[in-house]
A and B are shown apart, each in its own frame.
Chain A
Amino acid sequence: MSLVSFIGFALILVGLWGMLTRKNIIRIIIGFSIIDTGIHLVMVSIGYLPGRTAPIINSAVDKAQAASQIVDPIPSALVLTAIVIGLAITALMLTYAVRMYRERTSLNIDDYKELKW
């Protein structure tokens, strides 16, 4: 368990807490973003190998012995994808928030009872 993965898990819990306790829709979206960031940190920390360098072949990394000098490139690629998708989802959620505010002039989640049982 590395420090980065621990911080990542802590951020996931903080974000979940925020999503469950806050009433303001914008704050719920911020909670989602915090969970997102936590997951990215955990994923990056899985691919990290101590004492190695970035997976780019240049003067610092020998092409023939690259496999013993670089960190795992796959989690980096996955996190890049995840960041872009997270950005798109956040933009879409904020748009929903704008739209909901236009309908009822309220950002309080308690004012939207349609899906409540």
Chain B
Amino acid sequence: MIKKFFTIITVLLFALMVLPLLRQIVPFEELAPVAVAYAEQGPDQLGAANLVTSVIVTYRGLDTLGEVTVLFIATAGVGFLLRRDEEDQLPGEKNTGESTFETAGESALHSPREASELLGSGSMLLFPLLMLFGVYIFMHGHLTPGGGFQGGVVIASSMLLLMLARVSFHLNHLIISLVESLSGFFYVAIGVLGLVLAAGFLDNRILPLGEFGTLFSAGAIPIIYSLVGLKVGTELTNVLGTMRLTRAQQEEDV
């Protein structure tokens, strides 16, 4: 009871704290000066039709590199925490730990049910389309809403569909980690190239800007975003695969 009281007090105090902020948010009439600069110089300077993309990939490209790094570390953390348990468990503990885990869903763990006809056929139909759509989204990130992160998530969702539909489906971890590492490496390499050939780190003008509004424009932005898309897609696939693999592994160990 007293705990509930304190909870209410906390939430109310937080509300009091943010209320003045809420009142200060008035619809702006004009853009902020930085945004005006981006809007006026961006298209001619970088050649990207999508200004959000030019902000993310080039003007604040270093932040995006940090973001990709955070995603990578989180993925590594997921893989580390869900790794096979034998190595870090004492021999005596192993039995109790595993048996309690199994009782929760014993039948489901021992014989995973085959996917229904509907899910199987549907995934066969949708998988290539989703894959293509993901690639489309990250390749057209400089022209249309979308980009590497969104395209990567669509690719990961297509892989999730495949994992759901096929019990026997196994990820090829070699290819996944190869694609992930290489795209990360080339992302940084292109950034360093910008340092050498153009004005600074992650500058997209190492390639000709091309004709404004076409696919092959905006210098290195489509390439960087494609690499980001591949990296995010493989990373999220890896997360999904790790979470699924622990079930399959439990089954193997029995």
Contacts and interface: CB of A to CB of B under 8 A. Distances in A.
Interface of A: 1-2, 5-6, 9, 12-13, 16-17, 20-21, 42, 45-46, 48-50, 54-58, 63, 66-67, 70, 72-74, 76-77, 80-81, 83-85, 88-89, 91-92, 95-96, 98-99, 102-103, 105
A58 B51 contact: no
Nearest to B56: A77
Given A5-B22, A5-B25, A91 B74 contact: yes
Contact of B51 (A57, A88, A89, A102): A57
Given A77-B56, A99-B82, 7 more contacts: A48-B27, A66-B43, A67-B39, A81-B67, A88-B71, A95-B78, A103-B97
Contacts of B4: 21
Contacts of B223: none
B149 A95 contact: no
B90 interface: no
B48 to A, nearest CB: 9
Interface string B196-229: 0000000000000000110000000000000000
Nearest to A46: B25
Interface residues of B, number: 57
Main secondary structure of the interface of B (DSSP, over half): helix
Main secondary structure of the interface of A (DSSP, over half): helix
B87 interface: no
A66 to B, nearest CB: 4
A54 B232 CA distance: 25
